[in-house]
Amino acid sequence: MSLEYREWKKYICLRCKRTFDPADMELIPGVHCPYCGYKIIAKTRSFVTKRIKAV
């Protein structure tokens, strides 16, 4: 596993812009930011690019 992959956080809060893991969301029931409690979060993109063959 590369160092970049281990530091990648899966979600970002749209209010406070902090990134966090799904394990951090288990602190509060429901889908909330563990830092500010905002209910709208987004999934971040991974560093891995996917190549597909053009048809």
DSSP string, 1-55: --HHHHH--SEEETTT--EE-HHHHTTSSSS--TTT--S-EEEPPPS--------
pLDDT at res. 6: 58
pLDDT value at residue 39: 93
Give the total number of structural domains in the chain: 1
Residue 55 maps to a domain = no
Beta bridge partners of 41: 13
Residue 49 in any domain: the answer is no
Q: Is 48 contained in some domain?
A: no
Any domain includes 20 = yes
Structure confidence by residue, pLDDT tens digits, 1-55: 444 455 678 999 999 999 999 888 887 788 999 999 999 999 998 888 888 898 8
Q: What is the pLDDT of residue 18?
A: 94
pLDDT at residue 36, rounded to an integer: 92
CA-wise closest residue to 34 among 4, 48, 13, 55: 13
Domain of 20 in residue numbering reads as 3-43
Its pTM stands at: 0.67
Q: Please indicate, yes or no, if residue 51 is contained in any of the structural domains.
A: no
